[in-house]
Structures are given as C-alpha cells and as structure tokens.
Structure 1
Amino acid sequence: MNNSMTIKEYIDIPLLKSAVNELNMDIKNNPGLKYEIVGYSICKDETFCTTVSGILVRWEGTPFEKKM
C-alpha cells in the first residue's frame, strides 16, 4: 500500500457545486483512504447573496483514481 498524503480543498461554487456534497462523494468513492478535515471556512458572497464554504482535507493512503 502506498502511504501517500494528499491535501485537497473543496469549495462551493454558487448554483453549480457544493463543497460538502463533493467531499461526501469522495469519502463514499474512496473507502480505503483515511481523511482528516484540517480547515473550514464560510464567507458571505455578496454577488449571489449566499454563503460559500471551503473545506481543507488531508487524505492518506493510495492516490485517488483519475476520472475519465
């Protein structure tokens, strides 16, 4: 087993992508990897009148499979 470490940032894109949903999908699709949330932030987006989340996660284990 490769004990590589990856830092990945998940960011909301208003009306397009949810950081939480993307993180949950990676957890579901990579059950053999260990993960730790190392940072989290919430900012108000004045343009879309909504909040934007950012999640910083450290992953350990085998590398992610590349999506084609």
Structure 2
Amino acid sequence: MEQTVRELKAADEVNKKACADASRLAEELRQEREHEQYLQRRHKDLEFNLKVVQAKLEEAEATVRK
C-alpha cells in the first residue's frame, strides 16, 4: 500500500511538471506568434515606405532631367 502511495505521488509530480512545461510552451508559442505578426506588419510598412521613397527618387530624377 505504501509503495502504491509513493508511486502515485511520483506520478502526480511528473504530471504537474508536464502540465507546467505545457503551459510554458503554450505561452512561448503565443509570444512567438505575436512577434511574427509584428514582423509581418513591420515588413509591410517598410515595403510601403520603400515604394514611397522610390517614387520620390524617380520624381526628383525626372525634375533634374528637365
């Protein structure tokens, strides 16, 4: 009986650790997804800014040619 109680306690500890690990990994995944979304938005912003700068450069070059 005592052996069974020890085994159950050990199994409970393993279960608690596994749950804590799963919770930590879920939080890490959430943070990584959030960071990925931020990077995607930033990438789109930079692409837009690049297009604006390219258009201004082309306009300036056209003005110089006149």
Q: What TM-score does the superposition give when structure 2 sets the normalisation length?
A: 0.23
Larger radius of gyration: 2
Higher RCO (CA 8 Å, separation ≥ 6 residues): 1
Larger helix share, 1 or 2: 2
Question: Please, what TM-score do these two structures have when normalized by structure 1?
Answer: 0.22
